[in-house]
Amino acid sequence: MAHPLSEDDKVLPKPAASESESGSATIGSPHMSGIALRRGVEIENPLELALEFLAAYSSYDAGDSPEPASFDESDLRLANRGGARISAAEIAAILERRGKIERALRKIRPDASLADETSSIPWIPLTRLFDAFADIRGVGLSKMTKALHRKRPALIPMLDSVVQAYLTKDEPRLDSTETFAERATALVRSYKRDLDRNRAVLQEVQRELASRDCRLTEVRILDLLIWSA
């Protein structure tokens, strides 16, 4: 699955996909239940792919979780370790919104999860959080969500160009959502459908990673696997 990359996106090697007898793309060999992505793509070895990815690109996910109710320059520097490429001028512009961002963060529980029932997810506070980043020159969904993912790691996926292309290919209406914040929320809702469809396997991968002292949320694991497809 090839996707155009914007300059603020991470560039990672992709494992080769093979065609199954049914014509669907498959990756690797089966060691546990597979992950079913869109358009017939199946990832048969999700644990191995996640471990491979983390072995090569672990700096963003390593270390203690940042303080959940605050937002400062260290969060943006951490995002840059995840490939955000937020410039000094963009950091300054984002930090001018710090009060609005922190107020919005405090309305969302640190343990809020996209794996929860749809009705219990704080969609309105989440949209307000996204709105705090609207109209900042040079800052789009990729940079914003890379800065916010570690603040609410079970809730907010990293919507870089690869993930956006994956989500919008079959849902072009997502590209026409009216405002910046509404589009971000619509993409997160779309992402949740993939997470719900694969929840049992993602939780199995999560447990296996935890047994290796690597603690990731289902949201982050799915992101790694979309990138690997």
CA distances from residue 57 to 81, 112, 205, 224 in whole angstroms, order as listed = 9, 25, 18, 10
Rounded CA-CA distance 217/222 in Å is 9
Q: Give the residue extent of every domain in the chain.
A: 18-60+197-228, 73-194
Mean pLDDT, the chain, whole residue set: 87
**pLDDT tops 50 at residue 14:** no
Rounded CA-CA distance 205/68 in Å is 25
* pLDDT of amino acid 32: 76
Encoded amino acid at 80, one letter: N
**pLDDT tops 80 at residue 103:** yes
Per-residue pLDDT reduced to its tens digit, 110-136: 999 999 999 999 999 999 999 999 999
5, exposed or middle or buried, with CB in 10 Å at 0-12, 13-18, 19+?
Answer: middle
Encoded amino acid at 226, one letter: I
Per-residue pLDDT reduced to its tens digit, 148-162: 999 999 999 999 999
For residue 56, name the pLDDT band (cuts at 50, 70, 90). Answer: confident
Instruction: State mean pLDDT over 6-19.
Output: 43
Instruction: State mean pLDDT over 42-53.
Output: 93
More confident residue, 229 or 166: 166
* pLDDT of amino acid 31: 53
* pLDDT of amino acid 1: 40
- pTM, whole model, 2 decimals? 0.84
Q: Under a CB-based contact definition with an 8 Å cutoff, are residues 196 and 156 in contact? A: no
Rounded CA-CA distance 58/74 in Å is 17
Rounded CA-CA distance 102/105 in Å is 5
| 3-state SS class at 42 | strand
Residue with tokens 């993602």: 202
- DSSP-derived secondary structure letter, 87: -
Q: Under a CB-based contact definition with an 8 Å cutoff, are residues 229 and 12 in contact? A: no
For residue 17, name the pLDDT band (cuts at 50, 70, 90). Answer: very low
